Amino acid sequence: MEDYLPLLEKKFQRERIDEMVKERIEKYGGLITGDVALFLLAKENNLIEEKVIPISSIQQWMRSIIIAAKVECVFPTCYFEKDGKKKRSCRLLLSDESGEITLVLWNDLVALAEGEIWTGDEIEVRGGYLKDGELHVGFGGTVTVVKTSPPTPIGELKAGTHNVAGKIAEVFLDYFYIKNGKEEVMSSFLLSDETGEARVAVWKEPERVKALGEGDEVKLEGVVYRNNELHVNSSSRIVITKKAQENVLRGKIEGIEKEEKGISVVIDGKRIAFDDALSLKVLGINELPPDVPLKTVLEIKMKHLLEKEMAVQVSQKEGELFGLAVL
């Protein structure tokens, strides 16, 4: 252990130091040594320069530990109830050149592991302490991503394990099969990014796909690419990074008609009514020219709009759909 006595002697007389050491040892019921008491005194008096330490150097008595490490694995979040309060925790396996340690995140900090921290990222932990052989973050402590590990573009995937990000283009029907005399189910969806697309097969806990919808932006961690498909197993993670807007219809414009007020558009066999203001947006104009009726503009624009891709946020009333926004 580093000798903290010279640091304290710059501020206190030796007799006073001995008294304070004795007080600290008594305060902790004799469970700490004189060296640990010197460390605590130096820390309390801001005589220790904060520095990053190797994982292998972490000791049980240390407080306000600072480490820089790489995330090797993010484990699933655990939910439980204690004293009538709902709590959650998440464990991360960290490593540096000296060794490995498990970091435990609690409650609000868990959100970091559900969208900000990923396998391969480099992070800094401040204000840590050791408990039961695991690293915890004390009050006021922080966990910061120093360097992110970018996902592999779908168009550059090769056989092996990857982190992948993209948008869900389509959710497929479940596939049922027999394994060891038991019926099993595999769920899947099509994931796309600007470089390509790939089918994602979820073999373990296929119910995870039920929370996904077309247009959702997701990040997949620890998925295996083989036979031109991505495979999700029990150790893989699926995290929704951006949920698609609810009640959104997407598809090609199949038909347009002038209504008493505004226009109606048919997408995927569903008729959507638009008021005057949104009708102009659908037609791609800001305002009607003087003395030109909406019906005339519709006739001019019709051939350019049919078969055009469109996304509309809708509401439903008495079985009819009404456009709320053109996306």
Question: Which one is predicted more confidently, 164 or 34?
Answer: 164
Continuous segment of H or E residues that includes residue 301: helix 294-305
Q: Please indicate, yes or no, whether residues 63 and 140 belong to a single structural domain of this protein.
A: yes
Q: Please indicate, yes or no, whether residues 56 and 145 belong to a single structural domain of this protein.
A: yes
Helix then strand count (H, E) for the chain reads 5, 18
DSSP 8-state assignment for residue 12: S
Structure tokens at 144: 């910061």
Give Cβ neighbours of residue 196 (< 8 Å, ≥ 6 apart). Answer: 153, 154, 155
pLDDT of residue 143: 92
47 closest CA partner among 38, 55, 56 = 38
- In whole angstroms, what separates CA 152 from the centre of its chain? 16
For residue range 274-297, list pLDDT tens digits in order: 988 888 888 888 777 777 788 888
Q: Please indicate, yes or no, whether residues 38 and 55 belong to a single structural domain of this protein.
A: no
Point out the domain boundary residue: 178, 209, 242: 242
Q: Please indicate, yes or no, whether residues 57 and 142 belong to a single structural domain of this protein.
A: yes
Q: Quickly state the pLDDT bin for 100 (edges 50, 70, 90).
A: very high
For residue range 300-315, list pLDDT tens digits in order: 888 888 888 888 888 8
Q: Please indicate, yes or no, whether residues 56 and 20 belong to a single structural domain of this protein.
A: no
What mean pLDDT comes out for the span 143-168?
93
pLDDT of residue 26: 86
Of the candidate ranges 54-68, 92-106, 193-207, 243-257, the one whose mean pLDDT is the lowest: 243-257
Q: Tell me, what CATH number does 310's domain have?
A: 2.40.50
Point out the domain boundary residue: 213, 242, 271: 242
Q: Please indicate, yes or no, whether residues 26 and 38 belong to a single structural domain of this protein.
A: yes
Q: Please indicate, yes or no, whether residues 233 and 191 belong to a single structural domain of this protein.
A: yes
DSSP 8-state assignment for residue 117: -
Q: Please indicate, yes or no, whether residues 137 and 182 belong to a single structural domain of this protein.
A: no
pLDDT of residue 2: 53
Whether 327 contacts 277, CB under 8 Å: no
What mean pLDDT comes out for the span 147-157?
93
Q: Please indicate, yes or no, whether residues 269 and 294 belong to a single structural domain of this protein.
A: yes
Of the candidate ranges 17-31, 163-177, 253-267, the one whose mean pLDDT is the lowest: 17-31
Show the CA angle centred on residue 46, arms to residues 49 and 31, nearest 5°.
95
Give Cβ neighbours of residue 168 (< 8 Å, ≥ 6 apart). Answer: 189, 190, 191, 192, 212, 213, 214, 215, 216, 217, 218
For residue range 33-75, list pLDDT tens digits in order: 888 788 778 878 888 777 899 999 998 888 789 999 999 988 8
Per the listing, tokens 């050491």 go with: 21
Give Cβ neighbours of residue 257 (< 8 Å, ≥ 6 apart). Answer: 263, 264
pLDDT of residue 55: 95
186 closest CA partner among 196, 200, 175, 197 = 175
Whether 48 contacts 40, CB under 8 Å: no
Q: 104-109 long-range contacts, Cβ below 8 Å, gap at least 24? A: 104/131, 104/134, 104/135, 104/136, 104/137, 105/137, 105/143, 106/136, 106/137, 109/137, 109/143
What mean pLDDT comes out for the span 163-182?
92
Q: Please indicate, yes or no, whether residues 70 and 132 belong to a single structural domain of this protein.
A: yes
Domain count along the chain = 4
- Is the pLDDT at 1 greater than 50? The verdict is no
Provide DSSP, 131-153. ETTEEEEEEEEEEEEEE--PPPP
Of the candidate ranges 27-31, 224-228, 286-290, 303-307, the one whose mean pLDDT is the lowest: 286-290
Q: Tell me, what CATH number does 140's domain have?
A: 2.40.50.140
Give the structural domain span for 208: 154-242
Point out the domain boundary residue: 242, 264, 281: 242
Q: Please indicate, yes or no, whether residues 36 and 54 belong to a single structural domain of this protein.
A: no
What mean pLDDT comes out for the span 135-158?
90
pLDDT of residue 287: 77
